[in-house]
């Protein structure tokens, strides 16, 4: 198993962001973590990346406990945050190299990976420009490259295509599919249901910190008699709102 969550709970004073969540994600799986705003998705990702301590329960990533073995766990993961986090005064290449160096990559491997990723994301020509001058789409692409420069076993992609034009979005989709083919474990959070339906082998829908649905997009559509994943999402999360759960 790549990721195992057991009875994971996170409380912020009187708010329970994650409520006794248990989940297993297999190695090489492209898993979609879905849910409305404030459902607890980002809190789950933060716990899995070692940024937050769970109040209760355990989480292991790549076989390492995220609390006890966080240093080893962090060598396995790559995190693409929802908002672009790059140094505006560095060039695209310098940002990529900076994060490569934080993973202590060899110069040769770093150069090779950077070239490959920049080519795939059509950023080679702009790699020497400062990120401050990049368009929104370019920033999101460099954001993704920075997360994957060290060729991580497990990638957390937090809404990687938000605010992208359709062309760029499809380029990122192809890129994510490539990662899956390479046997990487990918945890993708997104608000675009068609994206999850298109890419993910399995999705988990989280609401109010609880896992309310788990399965392949097809299974969930069949179970909920829905025409697509968006319909499933609205039915499940809408019902919970209506029922006041």
* Residues within the interface to another protein (CB under 8 A): 49-51, 71, 74-75, 77, 79, 81, 83, 85-87, 89-90, 94, 97-99, 101-104, 130, 146
> From CA 74, how far away is CA 104, in angstroms rounded?
12
**Residue spans of alpha helices (H) in 60-105:** 70-76, 92-102
Q: Which CB, 23 or 90, lies closer to another protein? A: 90
Give the integer Cα–Cα distance in Å for 194 and 189.
Answer: 12
Do the bridges between strand 154-158 and strand 77-80 make them parallel or antiparallel, or are there none, so unpaired?
A: parallel
Task: Please give the order of strands across the beta sheet that includes 210-215.
Answer: 77-80, 154-158, 185-189, 30-34, 202-207, 210-215
* Closest approach of another protein to the CB of residue 89, in Å: 4
Nearer to another protein, 92 or 217 (CB): 92
Least distance to another protein from the beta carbon of 93, Å?
12
Q: Would you say 51 or 245 has its CB closer to another protein?
A: 51
Quote the CA–CA distance of 220 and 229 in Å, as a whole number. 7
Q: How far is the CB of 95 from another protein (least distance, A)?
A: 9
Give every CB contact of residue 32 below 8 A, 6+ residues apart in sequence: 188, 189, 190, 196, 199, 200, 202, 203, 204
Q: Residue 160 or 217: which CB sits closer to another protein?
A: 160
Per the CB < 8 A criterion, the answer to whether 4 and 60 are in contact is yes
Compare residues 1 and 85 and give the one whose CB is closer to another protein.
Answer: 85
Q: In the complex with another protein, which residue's Cβ is closer, 188 or 193?
A: 188
Cα 147 off chain centre by: 10
Straight-line distance from the first to the last Cα atom of the chain, in angstroms, rounded to the nearest whole number: 32
């Amino acid at each position: 198993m790549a990721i195992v969550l057991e009875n994971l709970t996170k409380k912020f004073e009187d708010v329970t962001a994650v409520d006794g969540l248990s989940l297993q994600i297999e190695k090489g799986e492209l898993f979609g973590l879905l849910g409305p705003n404030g459902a607890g998705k980002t809190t789950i990702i933060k716990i899995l990346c070692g940024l937050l301590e769970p109040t209760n329960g355990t989480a292991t990533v790549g076989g390492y406990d995220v609390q006890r073995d966080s240093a080893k766990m962090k060598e396995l993961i790559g995190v693409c945050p929802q908002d672009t986090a790059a140094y505006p005064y560095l060039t695209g290449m310098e940002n990529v190299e900076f994060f490569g160096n934080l993973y202590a990559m060899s110069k040769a491997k770093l150069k090779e990976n950077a070239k490959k990723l920049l080519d795939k994301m059509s950023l080679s020509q702009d790699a020497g420009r400062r990120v401050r001058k990049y368009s929104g789409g370019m920033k999101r692409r460099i954001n993704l490259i920075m997360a994957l420069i060290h060729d991580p076993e497990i990638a957390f992609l937090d809404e990687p295509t938000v605010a992208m034009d359709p062309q760029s979005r499809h380029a990122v989709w192809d890129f994510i599919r490539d990662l899956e083919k390479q046997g990487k474990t990918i945890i993708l959070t997104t608000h675009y249901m068609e994206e999850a339906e298109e890419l993910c082998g399995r999705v988990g829908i989280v609401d109010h910190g609880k896992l309310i649905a788990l399965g392949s997009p097809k299974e969930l559509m069949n179970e909920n008699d829905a025409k697509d994943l968006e319909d499933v999402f609205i039915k499940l999360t809408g019902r919970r709102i209506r029922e006041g759960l």
